[in-house]
Amino acid sequence: MGQRFDAVDVIRTKRDGGELSLEQINWVIGAYARGDVADEQMSALAMAIYLRGMTKTEIRQWTRAMVNSGERMDFSSLSQHTVDKHSTGGVGDKITLPLVPLVATFGVAVPQLSGRGLGHTGGTLDKLESIPGWNASLTNDEVLAQLRDVGGVICAAGSGLAPADKKLYALRDVTGTVDSIPLIASSIMSKKIAEGTSSLVLDVKVGSGAFMRSIPDAQKLAKTMVELGTTAGVTTRALLTDMSAPLGYTVGNALEVREAVEVLAGGGPRDVVELTVGLATEMLECAGVTGVDVGAALKDGRAMDTWKTMIRAQGGDPDAALPVAKEKTYIRAEKSGYITEMDALRVGYASWRLGAGRAYQGAPIMATAGIEINKGVGEAIEAGEPLFTLHTDEPERFERAIDMLDGSTTIDANAAQSRASVILDRVR
């Protein structure tokens, strides 16, 4: 067992602004994973970290201890280079769906171990489960086989990867310690390092609908994660991307799948296509694939072919009709003009109130619930035209969603200004 520590001493060290030693960190993470440190003690330590921060050395050691709390996946038997993407979570962020088949089309293996939604941000697995028959749970052998045969896989992360992080993640959500840069960075990177990918591209969201509201905070988080990945031997890059307004025109599970398929068919919203191609280009460069026309693979149907093969490989029917909500209602523009702002956070919470998200881990969600954005930032709208279409199976949910959307959108009679590039910065 080595040297024994006391949880209270570790908490006091951080509470008083001290630096935790390697031994203290290894002990407290290991003991928490085994159940020898209680949730209330880890809650106190998480709050102390939230308030006092961590040094670069502490963050690196904390991340390594979380990786070492469980198993690691091994993709060394694959002939292809492996590259993954992680988004820090946003509203209408369906990018993983077209991105994985697009990158896989160029002969690169994409092991995308994804999660479920919590709060106002949607989960990739929840979206894909609106496709009839699609299965999120694969064994490690099945993941390897699908990467070998198809090139891409989107599935649930196994419970054996960074189990200490899984416990701490659920705890942070209910103790007000989610938006701490050391805790976010170590949580994301411990899972990604344990996953065993050789390269990683991070999509760090910034704006009203993101955990990081300001560009300096987002840059700090991105730099921290890139350093953690690089130190662990993973080629890591980050893009800072705009989450001041929702991505695309849909928020909600089946609605977002429909929009992702439009992108794979060579259409779809400009911002979703821009971010998909931008992330794919970074991922392919990490894998040594350069000088290719990434956008052409969306236009000519190659990425769509890979998508259909991926969905079928996991039991889904890519050609089946997606579920549709039993009820819908409209919110109409009160005046004419141009949309200059749309608060992503409010749109995300309204979709959640319609049934698209969950209030606690394991709660059921409604595949059909969500919001269609009829007019986006920079577009003209006439008074009385639909601004939002609200979808749900339970019409009693409309009132609270409408309340949340009240004041979410600014319409200006004069300002005809299109949304600028969704990619704000790069960190390497």
Q: Give the active site residue among 165, 242, 271, 343.
A: 165
User: Of 14, 85, 172, 419, which is the active-site residue?
Assistant: 172
69 is catalytic: no
Q: Looking at 187, 190, 199, 244, which residue is catalytic?
A: 187
Gap between the Cα atoms of 35 and 183, Å rounded: 20
Only one residue has tokens 């509201």, namely 213
Known catalytic residue at 165: yes
Q: Is 187 a catalytic residue?
A: yes
For residue 137, what are its two tokens?
């749970």
Catalytic residue among 14, 191, 205, 375: 191
What SS3 string covers 270-300? HHHHHHHHHHHHHHHHHCCCCCCCHHHHHHC
Whole-Å CA distances, 219 to 47, 62, 274: 23, 21, 21
Is 76 annotated in the active site?
Answer: no
Beta bridge partners of 409: 342
> Among this protein's residues, is 116 annotated catalytic?
no
Q: Which of 60, 64, 86, 120 is catalytic?
A: 86
Integer CA distances (angstroms), 68 to 25, 139, 155, in order: 12, 20, 22
Of 388, 423, 379, 422, residue with least CA distance to 407 = 388
The set of catalytic residues is 86, 165, 172, 187, 191
